C-alpha cells in the first residue's frame, strides 16, 4: 500500500471527526505553543542582557571608586590611600600584560545650563579613547579629540537627553553651555543609549543620556574640587586584548591597586563579561525549568493522543477486520494508525506554532518582557510534536495490527 493512501486516509479521518480531532490535538497545540513562547521569552532575556553588557564592553575591566561615607573616607585617607588616580591607570597600562588601553574618568554631579533652561547631569572628564572602548557614537558633531584634551579646551559632548532638554529646536553644535562657573562649547551630541534599568555588579543604574563629557585635562583643571576626600578620578576602564585575559588581568589589577592603596579596599573591580556569563548561567537554570514545563505539556499531549487512539482502535475493530480480510497486512494497519497519529500531531503542531508565535508577540507587545523567536525553536517544537505523534501512536497502532482478523471482523 502506498503511503499517499495512508495520508489521504488519515486526513479524511481528521476531517470526518473534526471535534474529536481538535480535542486530541489540544495537548499538542498547547505543548508546542508553550515551547515556542517560553523559548522566546528566554531568548529575549538573553539578548537584552547581552545588549546591556555590550554597552560596558565585553573585553573591558572596570575599576570604580567604592562609595564610602565621609568617615570611612577619612579612615582610608588616614591609612595613606589617595583613592583612584591617574597614576593607577598608567601603572596598570604599563605592568598588566594584554592591556590595550585604559581610559580614566572623573565625574561630578552638577547642572548644565543654556539660556534659561537647565538640566541635572553628570559631568564626566574623559580621554578620547573612551568613545571607542565603550562603543559611543555621536549623532551630531564629533567626540572629544586628543587635541581637545592636550590643550585642555573648554569643549563638551552632550548626552542625547541633555541635548534634547537644552536645545529643543536648535542645533547645539557651536553653542555655549554653562556648567558650574565654566562656559563650554558643544562640539558633539551622542546617540541615545539604552537605559540602565538595573545595577550591573557594583555599577549603579543610571541614565547615560544625561551625561556631559568634557576632556579629562579640562575637567581636572576646571572642575576638580580641592578636597582631600575626593579621589582624582572615579573610574578606570581597562580594555584587554581578548576575553580570556579578563580573569587573570583583573586579579593582577586587584593586586596592583591593593599595593598602591595600602590594602585599603576603596575600589571595586567589575568585569562585565564575567557578570554576563554568570547571569547566563543563572538564566540557564530558569530556561531549563521553562523547557521542562513545556516538554511535560507536550508529553501530556502525547498521552492524550495515545488515549484517544486506543479508544479509536477499539471502536474501529470491525473496520480493521474488514481491511485485514480483503488483504491488508499487519504493517498496512500499523502504518495507517501511525500516520493518523502523526497527522493529528502535525496538524496540532502547526496550530501550536501559530498560537505560540502570536502568544510571544502578544507578550512582548503588552508587557515589558522582551521576546525573541528563534527560527530553530519553531523547528524543535514542531519536530518534537511529530516525534510525540509517532511514539504515542505506536502502541495503539500495534494493538490494531495485532487484532486477529477473524475475531475483529465479527466484532460488534
Instruction: Please state the closest distance from residue 43 (CB atom) to other proteins, in A.
Output: 45
The CA–CA distances, whole Å, from 95 to 127, 209, 235, 400 equal 20, 34, 18, 77
* Of the candidate residues 176, 289, 325, 369, the single one contacting other proteins (CB under 8 A): 325
Running DSSP on this structure, what letter comes out for residue 200? B
Number of residues in contact with other proteins under rule CB under 8 A? 22
Q: Which of 131, 94, 95, 82 is nearest to 233 (CA)?
A: 82
Residue range at the interface with other proteins (CB under 8 A); choices 28-36, 60-68, 291-299, 401-409: 401-409
For other proteins, give the closer residue by CB, 327 or 375. Answer: 327
Residue range at the interface with other proteins (CB under 8 A); choices 277-285, 290-298, 338-346, 403-411: 403-411
Strand, helix or coil for residue 2: coil
Contacts of 133 (CB under 8 A, 6+ apart): 57, 60, 101, 103, 237, 239
- Burial of 154 from C-beta contacts in 10 A (0-12 / 13-18 / 19+): middle
- Burial of 101 from C-beta contacts in 10 A (0-12 / 13-18 / 19+): middle
For other proteins, give the closer residue by CB, 15 or 365. Answer: 15
Q: Which of 189, 191, 175, 80 is nearest to 135 (CA)?
A: 191
- Which residues are registered as beta bridge partners of 212? 123, 158
Instruction: Please state the closest distance from residue 356 (CB atom) to other proteins, in A.
Output: 33
Contacts of 164 (CB under 8 A, 6+ apart): none
Q: Is 226 in the site for other proteins (CB under 8 A)?
A: no
> How many angstroms separate the CA atoms of 278 and 276, rounded?
5
Instruction: Output the nine-digit C-alpha cell for 297.
Output: 505539556
* Of the candidate residues 18, 326, 365, 366, the single one contacting other proteins (CB under 8 A): 326
Buried b / exposed e along 13-25 (16+ C-beta atoms within 10 A): bbeeeeeebeebb
Residue range at the interface with other proteins (CB under 8 A); choices 105-113, 232-240, 295-303, 325-333: 325-333
> How many angstroms separate the CA atoms of 138 and 274, rounded?
28
E-assigned strand segments in 191-291:
211-215, 235-240, 267-270
> How many angstroms separate the CA atoms of 376 and 289, rounded?
19
Instruction: Please state the closest distance from residue 2 (CB atom) to other proteins, in A.
Output: 7
Q: Is 319 in the site for other proteins (CB under 8 A)?
A: yes
Instruction: Please state the closest distance from residue 303 (CB atom) to other proteins, in A.
Output: 27
* Of the candidate residues 70, 174, 225, 327, the single one contacting other proteins (CB under 8 A): 327
Instruction: Output the nine-digit C-alpha cell for 237.
Output: 576602564
Q: Is 398 in the site for other proteins (CB under 8 A)?
A: no
Q: Is 324 in the site for other proteins (CB under 8 A)?
A: yes
For other proteins, give the closer residue by CB, 215 or 321. Answer: 321
Q: Is 2 in the site for other proteins (CB under 8 A)?
A: yes
Interface map 331-350 toward other proteins (x if CB under 8 A): xx------------------
52, 208 in Cβ contact below 8 A?
Answer: no
Q: Is 318 in the site for other proteins (CB under 8 A)?
A: yes
Interacting residues with other proteins between 13 and 42 (CB under 8 A): 16
For other proteins, give the closer residue by CB, 99 or 334. Answer: 334
Q: Is 409 in the site for other proteins (CB under 8 A)?
A: yes
Instruction: Please state the closest distance from residue 366 (CB atom) to other proteins, in A.
Output: 45
* Of the candidate residues 330, 355, 370, 374, the single one contacting other proteins (CB under 8 A): 330
Q: Is 67 in the site for other proteins (CB under 8 A)?
A: no
Q: Is 322 in the site for other proteins (CB under 8 A)?
A: yes
What is the β-pairing status of strands 235-240 and 211-215? unpaired
Q: Is 314 in the site for other proteins (CB under 8 A)?
A: no
For other proteins, give the closer residue by CB, 221 or 402. Answer: 402
* Of the candidate residues 147, 329, 367, 376, the single one contacting other proteins (CB under 8 A): 329
Residue range at the interface with other proteins (CB under 8 A); choices 52-60, 113-121, 219-227, 313-321: 313-321
Q: Is 55 in the site for other proteins (CB under 8 A)?
A: no
What is the β-pairing status of strands 60-65 and 235-240? antiparallel
Contacts to other proteins by CB under 8 A:
1-2, 5, 12, 16, 318-319, 321-332, 405-406, 409
Amino acid at each position: 500500500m502506498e503511503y499517499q493512501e495512508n495520508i489521504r486516509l488519515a486526513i479524511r479521518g481528521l476531517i470526518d471527526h473534526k471535534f474529536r480531532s481538535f480535542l486530541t490535538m489540544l495537548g499538542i497545540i498547547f505543548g508546542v505553543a508553550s515551547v515556542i513562547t517560553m523559548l522566546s521569552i528566554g531568548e529575549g532575556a538573553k539578548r537584552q542582557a547581552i545588549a546591556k553588557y555590550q554597552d560596558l564592553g565585553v573585553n573591558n575591566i572596570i575599576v570604580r571608586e567604592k562609595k564610602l561615607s565621609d568617615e570611612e573616607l577619612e579612615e582610608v585617607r588616614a591609612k595613606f590611600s589617595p583613592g583612584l588616580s591617574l597614576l593607577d591607570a598608567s601603572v596598570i597600562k604599563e605592568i598588566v600584560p594584554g592591556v590595550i588601553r585604559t581610559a580614566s574618568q572623573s565625574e561630578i554631579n552638577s547642572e548644565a545650563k543654556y539660556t534659561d533652561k537647565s538640566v541635572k547631569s553628570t559631568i564626566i572628564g574623559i580621554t578620547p579613547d573612551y568613545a571607542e572602548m565603550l562603543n559611543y557614537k555621536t549623532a551630531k558633531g564629533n567626540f572629544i579629540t586628543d587635541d581637545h584634551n592636550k590643550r585642555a579646551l573648554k569643549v563638551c559632548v552632550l548626552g542625547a537627553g541633555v541635548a534634547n532638554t537644552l536645545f529643543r529646536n536648535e542645533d547645539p553644535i557651536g553653542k555655549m553651555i554653562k556648567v558650574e562657573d565654566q562656559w563650554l562649547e558643544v562640539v558633539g551630541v551622542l546617540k541615545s543609549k539604552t537605559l540602565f534599568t538595573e545595577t550591573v555588579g557594583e555599577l549603579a543604574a543610571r541614565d547615560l543620556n544625561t551625561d556631559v563629557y568634557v576632556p579629562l585635562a579640562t575637567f581636572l583643571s576646571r572642575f576638580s574640587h580641592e578636597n582631600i576626600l575626593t579621589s582624582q578620578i572615579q573610574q578606570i576602564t581597562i580594555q584587554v586584548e581578548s576575553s580570556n585575559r579578563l580573569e587573570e588581568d583583573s586579579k593582577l589589577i586587584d593586586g596592583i591597586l591593593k599595593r598602591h592603596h595600602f590594602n585599603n579596599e576603596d575600589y571595586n573591580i567589575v568585569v562585565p563579561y564575567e557578570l554576563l556569563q554568570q547571569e547566563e548561567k543563572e538564566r540557564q537554570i530558569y530556561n531549563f525549568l521553562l523547557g521542562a514545563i513545556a516538554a511535560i505539556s507536550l508529553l501530556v499531549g502525547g498521552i492524550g493522543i495515545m488515549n484517544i487512539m486506543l479508544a479509536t482502535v477499539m471502536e474501529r475493530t470491525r473496520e480493521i477486520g474488514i481491511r485485514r480480510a480483503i488483504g491488508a497486512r499487519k504493517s498496512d494497519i500499523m502504518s495507517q494508525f501511525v500516520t493518523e497519529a502523526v497527522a493529528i500531531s502535525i496538524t496540532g503542531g502547526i496550530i501550536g506554532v501559530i498560537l505560540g508565535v502570536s502568544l510571544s508577540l502578544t507578550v512582548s507587545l503588552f508587557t515589558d518582557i522582551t521576546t525573541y523567536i528563534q527560527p530553530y525553536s519553531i523547528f524543535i517544537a514542531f519536530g518534537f510534536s511529530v516525534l510525540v505523534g509517532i511514539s504515542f501512536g505506536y502502541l495503539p497502532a500495534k494493538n490494531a495490527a495485532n487484532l486477529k482478523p477473524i475475531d475483529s471482523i465479527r466484532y460488534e
